[in-house]
Chain A
Amino acid sequence: MSNGNPLTAIERERFDFAVIANWIPPGERVLDLGCGDGKLLRYLRESKGVFGYGVEIDHESVLGCIRNGVDVIQIDIEGGLSGFENQSFNHVIISQALQAMHATERILGEMLRVADEAVVSFPNFAYRTNRAAIAQGHMPVSENLPYEWYETPNVRFFTIADFEALCGKLGIEIRERLAFDDTGQAVTDDPNLNGSLAFYRLGRKA
């Protein structure tokens, strides 16, 4: 995957899909929150034979899902997932979208109510190039965080360390974590510094 250069937006998306798909057994029932135009679900359907629904609030994205032939439900999940039944999915996914939602705690709790396991991916704001940007006096802008501060859809800026602290507070079990630098190389040494993209497999503590 890595050629030493930072992943482009398209490469990053494919990378994101591949990492997530690796955690989804074939034929599962999947819910994808903030599913965009449904490409991940279509990928999981084609590669894993999953049966899944996307949830999306943005009108153009919903149209994209319908064009992609993906089942989509246009609702605002900031208010929770009422209507979705307990444990009705094997996996619930939130890929590169948690940082754009306000109700972080509620959404994480709801995810583990409606599914056995949650898969979360997000950009690590403590990644070294982001720290360097801040040290230079500016909010980071990169392939991974491609927005100026005044136009970013992101509303929650958090790090791998922050996220794990919140999981601890909420009684969420971290079953697996993967971190990658901006070239797509897996990172094990100090992921909060060296990891640009973070992926988690989460469950309820027994």
Chain B
Amino acid sequence: MVQNNSVGIVAPQRIRFNEPIALKSGARLPGFDLVFETYGTLNTARSNAVLVCHALSGGHHVAGVYADDPTNWGWWDNLVGPGKPLDTRKFFVVGVNNLGGCYGSTGPLSVNPETGKRYGADFPMVTVEDWVAAHARLADHLGVDTWAAVIGGSLGGMQALEWTLQYPDRIRHAMVIASAPKLSAQNIAFNEVARQAILSDPDFHGGHYAEHGVIPTHGLRLARMVGHITYLSDGQMGEKFGRQLRHGEHQFSFDVDFEVESYLRYQGDKFASFFDANTYLNTTKALDYFDPAYTYDGDLAAALARAKAKFFVASFSTDWRFAPSRSREIVFALLHNRLHVAYAEIDSDAGHDSFLLDDVHYHAVLRAYLENISV
């Protein structure tokens, strides 16, 4: 893959926070590490910092590539770089692996200082609110009082939204893409199927699989397969695979007959080879629990009353996981509060995953919005 305008070789950093953090669940962590990457330069006014929040499987490696792993490009490299819509000549861009993640930030794979063993299932459940509280510590460390913008797709968009509620004075623009103000019953149902796949894997061992030297690969694989279906559109799957047969004819067996089966198995295998099952379980629960309106009798407009940021909201026409109507809920709650918002409903055939792609119009809209952010 040719990478134009890339930030090039990057390296992750690690920061330790020794101050305990009280989590929304009531649990506490005595301290924690976050791994992160930065691209571009923080200006002297410290007014050009942009936080990129990741979704379920993403992490801190947003852009560029590693010197010792030259095919491992950041997950949003098409967006972030010199001359790209999120232009690193203008902005200081920060990617961070969320608390509880499995790419290096403190999480279930980390060693519990109290036991000397990996946390595994004992790692406390973390929420979107907890992630944002942890991000704020990173902002403090970086000298960023106020983000020029916080941007994210899907679950990342929820973090951008949460930033406007938890730290309304520390974020000027929230860019909430392919997201929702809370999960629907159907969204939660899909998450539950994914969790049951993991929880019922004999190798799960109540979440302490690491101590048994195994990984619940089978469950993770199934979880990813069902999740992956929700990231794509029916039309796109049909276009990509249709009813193509792997062996040219029906095999009358439960091996791969149809190409789409092969594709899903491949996606499941790939994911299970690098993602931690406990992080997956926790992250899906974080999604389920996220609901800023929960303590406002379901009134999202009331929940957003404390937000001050200007918003960019975007959805994709074929996204059925977080359909455009879910973004409109956010938009109308913002209108109620007389907040600035630009809302674009992008035509795309790629379903939920559209937010990761470099569709020309989508990127033009992002570029236009980002260009108007003063730094």
- A residues whose Cβ falls under 8 Å from a Cβ of B: 29, 51, 53, 59, 62-63, 65-67, 69-75, 83-85, 88
Contacts and interface: CB of A to CB of B under 8 A. Distances in A.
Interface stretch (B126-134, B223-231, B245-253, B327-335): B327-335
B347 A59 contact: yes
A62 B344 CA distance: 7
A65 B344 CA distance: 10
A53 B335 CA distance: 9
B338 A74 contact: no
A20 to B, nearest CB: 22
B364 A63 contact: yes
A29 B364 contact: no
Contacts of A69: 372
Contacts of A65: 342
B373 to A, nearest CB: 10
A18 B366 CA distance: 31
B368 to A, nearest CB: 4
Lowest 5 CB-CB distances: which A-B pairs, in order? A83-B332, A66-B368, A74-B345, A67-B368, A73-B343
A15 to B, nearest CB: 28
11 contacts: A59-B344, A59-B346, A62-B365, A63-B361, A66-B344, A66-B365, A70-B342, A71-B340, A72-B343, A74-B344, A75-B328
Contacts of A63: 344, 361, 364-365, 368
A74 B343 contact: yes
A88 B341 CA distance: 16
Contacts of B347: 59
A73 B334 CA distance: 11
A62 B342 CA distance: 9
Contacts of B365: 62-63, 66
B369 interface: yes
Interface in B336-375: 336, 338, 340-347, 361, 364-365, 368-369, 371-372
Contacts of B331: 73, 83
- Among A29, A72, A74, chain B packs the most CB atoms within 10 A around the CB of A74
Contacts of B332: 83-84
Contacts of B338: 29, 51
Given A63-B364, A69-B372, A84-B335, 13 more contacts: A53-B335, A59-B347, A59-B361, A63-B365, A65-B342, A66-B368, A67-B372, A72-B343, A73-B335, A73-B341, A75-B328, A83-B335, A88-B336
Contacts of A84: 332, 335
Interface in B76-126: none
A85 B347 CA distance: 27
